[in-house]
Homo-oligomer: A and B are copies of this chain.
Amino acid sequence: MAKPSVRDKIVDAALERFHTLGFSGCSVQDIVDTAGVPKGSFYNYFKAKELLALEVLSIYGQDSNREILEDQSLPPIDRLRAHFEYMAAYYADFGYEKGCLIGNLAAEMTDNTPLLRQAIGQSLEKWTAAVTATLREGQKDGSIIASLDAEKVARFVINSWEGAVVRMKIARCRQPLDDFFAVAFPLLNRPTAE
């Protein structure tokens, strides 16, 4: 196997450090120390910490197993559950301490990092589109309530998940995620008597 490049080492270290310390809580020095590369090399690859964070965010999004939302072998509602359970298992590996990198970065955003704010917005839009499409498939096959506004509910479900994950970071246990599954999922397929 090829040795990881200096650039790869920096990106891998940054993902771990941003996730553990946050964006502001993590200095370029922290990243190069973890990567085991000289500080000077950082600026050969990235002009600013914010630009590195853009790349880290993109990798984190790719790693979150959204493909499962398109898995035609499962009913749409089961895909949604599997999607969130996949993330829950990932958080469990870290003792429920780290939260979601996207939500953590979002909560930290200020006017000082406009590119990162924009990229987080786009990442959330992309995620919303994937969940919306799954909800619509479920509406077609009758397993998800047809009268729901799929896009609005997708945004709500993702935002609720992100809020549950922030609470999880504080409680350091799965309870907030269990609350999410117990309350949000019946919303999608429980018939109402309006």
- The A interface, classified by DSSP as helix, strand, loop or mixed, is helix
In the bound complex, do residue A110 and residue B21 qualify as a contact, i.e. CB atoms below 8 Å apart? Answer: yes
A167–B161 Cα distance when bound, in Å, is: 11
A171–B109 Cα distance when bound, in Å, is: 11
- List, in ascending order, chain B residues with CB within 8 A of A121's CB: 170-171
Q: Which residue of chain B has the shortest Cβ distance to A26 in the bound complex? A: B24
Q: Which residue of chain B has the shortest Cβ distance to A117 in the bound complex? A: B170
Closest 6 CB pairs of A and B: A163-B163, A107-B107, A24-B25, A24-B24, A193-B193, A160-B160
**9 residue pairs bridging A and B, Cβ less than 8 Å apart:** A22-B24, A22-B107, A99-B107, A108-B108, A120-B170, A155-B175, A156-B182, A160-B160, A183-B187
Sample of 4 more A-B contacts, CB < 8 Å, known A104-B107, A107-B169, A159-B180: A106-B107, A156-B183, A163-B164, A187-B187
